[in-house]
Each structure stands twice: as structure tokens, then as C-alpha cells.
Amino acid sequence: MVDYVPSPDEVAAAQTPNGGWSRKQLAEWGIPWPPPTGWRRYLEAKWRGEDVGPLPREEPDQDTLF
């Protein structure tokens, strides 16, 4: 369980020059790899103190495996 929740400014500042975030950085914030859709909104809601459930994991569509 990750207790630290970064501010939206911290999330923006951690963005790489290529426009993404490192796997290591996301792991420090408790975000799985690959990051699911909506992960930044999720972190921002947690930072504001909103009661949010767990971040859903995106499982690959079975059709894409074949």
C-alpha cells in the first residue's frame, strides 16, 4: 500500500522529456504498469482527499493475444 500521493504539480514535473512517466516513478505512486486509463485523474482525486476505490487494472483483450 502506497501512502504518499503526489500533487498534480508533482505528477506534471515528473513527466519525462518524451511526454511519459517511468515505470519506476509510477510504481512509487502505486500505479501499475502499463498505467491504466484515468490514472492521473485517480491520483488527483486521492490527493484532494476524495474516497476513491482501487484503480482498475486493464487486462488485454483476449483477441489481441492471438
Which pLDDT value is given to residue 56? 72
Which pLDDT value is given to residue 23? 95
Mean pLDDT by 10 residues, the chain (66 residues): 85 95 95 93 94 75 58
Q: Cα 22–9–42 angle (5° rounding)?
A: 70
Which pLDDT value is given to residue 50? 92
